[in-house]
Every structure is written in structure tokens, then in C-alpha cells.
Amino acid sequence: MFPDAKRFAEKKIKLIRAFCWDTKCINIKIMKKANINSREIWLEKESQHYLFHFKKNSYASKLIDIVISEQEQCFKDISQLLRTVPVQKIQYWLCDSAEEVGQKSNSPECNGITCCEDGTVNIYCVYSENMKCTGYHEDTHAVAYFYNDINSNALAEGLAMYMDKRWWSVENELCTFVYIENNIYVSVERMICERNSNDEEYFLDIDDCYSYPIMGAFVAFLVEQKGADNFLRLYSYNGTNWKVEFFKIYGRSLSEIEKEFIYYISSKKYTDNQKTDAHSKLCTE
């Protein structure tokens, strides 16, 4: 039902996809085929950093001022971290359904997608009574694109997940803790550095429910434990030799940094209730 990054990688234009992670599982149950009326009237409202597009009489139209103030706050936090302000306003399309997102963005159906091409960024996302895919994730991709159109899906999604903080309402760190505890942790070094037989990132082969929160927790570790300046240096890298780049910036190999990361996460103290709750929400089979 949901597109995978590999499909986007095959497209000619650069697409960074994402979903509203917190509600993805709910959406699978509630998503219905929507009746898209192509003659519907789209309105616009401009804010300091965005141009919002929404349909007349839509759910989004009733709450547009709230959406604007929430997204401007997200924008502020993201651009503060990246010390970047996009040179162009971000085009933000508030759609009724995943089907409409797919139709407007010319991509497979999904809840949210950020399309970056030739200096223009369009975010398409579902904003309805049951599904609100606004928030940090897509906007992080959008602002980060202006910082550096990085050559790593693993780090791009890790950064967006760091800003999101949670996967299916479970903190990224707790997700990673549970995966380590259940021996289903996936190595960040492998996700960042390895490529599959089609010369695509190994990260893209891993189920999102592991790869996204683990990378989100790892980016948090880099930013908060190893310094935001170092992370910004790392994120400005345009090449693909990540092992060399990590060593250059951190003075330690990525595998040593990962060992430290695993120790850091494993040392966190979670209650049995927190672990049981996380276990029930995550892919732990």
C-alpha cells in the first residue's frame, strides 16, 4: 500500500518520501478510496516561509491558521538546528487523502511526500479529520534540501526522524532499545555504508519500522552527544565514502561510534511498562 524508497529512487527527479510516522499504522486501517474531484477549487494562503494550498470547504481550510502557526514553529526549530533558511518559500499542499497526495505529486499513494527539484520544494500531505500528516518530518526534508541535498537516504531520514522524535508514538531511543533487547537491531554502519546488488543503499532494504527509528536515535546521538557542529559538517558532505568522512570528523571509526551508540541506548533506564507498551506497538516478531 505504501510506496517504498526504492521506487522513488528509480524516478528521474529527486524525491524524498516520508509518511506521518506516528499514525501510519492507523491509516492502514482507515484509508479508503477517496472520490477526487479534479474540479475542486484550490485556495492559497501565504505565511512567512510557506505558501499553503488547500481546497475550498476542506477540513484543512477550517484549520488553516492553526496549521500555519504549527508549521512555522516546526520550520523555526529545523532551521535553527540546520542554521539554514530556504531561499524560496516551501509549497505546502494539504490533501484530503493518500490518493490525492499521489495524484497531486505524481507519485504512488502515500500520506506525505516531499518533492525537491531545481530549487523548488513541494510538500504534499494528508490533512483530514482522521489523519494529520503535518509536523516536523516532511518540513525537515524540505529545509535540509536547502542545506545540502545529501547523498544518503539513511541520514536524511535519520534527521527527519530525529525531529519527529517518535515512531508510532514510541520514542526513537526506546524503539532502538527494544530492538537491541530482542536481537533485531539493524546496524547503522551497514545502513549508511553498505549497498545492495542493485547498488542501492542497504538502508532501503530494511523495513521502515526498524530503519527509521534506529537512524533517528543515531542522529540524535550524533547531534546531542557528539556536537551539532560536527553533525552539520557530516550532513554537508556530498560524497559517498561515509566511513572516511566519519573518521575525518569524529576521529573514530563509524563502527566504534556505533558501539558507543549501542552502549548509550542500552544504558537507558526504561520501566517494564514502557518496554511492554513499546513491544506491543513495534515490529518485534
Give the residues lining the site for Zn ion (CB under 5 A): 18, 157, 160
Closest distance to Zn ion from the beta carbon of 2 (Å): 12
Closest distance to Zn ion from the beta carbon of 277 (Å): 25
139 or 171: whose CB is closer to Zn ion?
139
110 or 160: whose CB is closer to Zn ion?
160
User: Closest-CB residue for Zn ion?
Assistant: 18
Closest distance to Zn ion from the beta carbon of 153 (Å): 9
158 or 176: whose CB is closer to Zn ion?
158
* Secondary structure in 3-state letters for the chain: CCCCHHHHHCCCCCEEEECCHHHHHHHHHHCCCCCCCCCCCEEEEECCCEEEEEECCCHHHHCHHHHHHHHHHHHHHHHHHHCCCCCCCEEEEEECCHHHHHHHHCCCCCCEEEEEECCEEEEEEEECCCCECCCHHHHHHHHHHHHCCCCCHHHHHHHHHHHHCEECCEEHHHHHHHHHHCCCCCCHHHHHHCECCCCCEHHHHCCHHHHHHHHHHHHHHHHHHHCHHHHHHHHCCCCCCHHHHHHHHHCCCHHHHHHHHHHHHHCCCCCHHHHHHHHHHCCCC
160 or 174: whose CB is closer to Zn ion?
160
Closest distance to Zn ion from the beta carbon of 35 (Å): 28
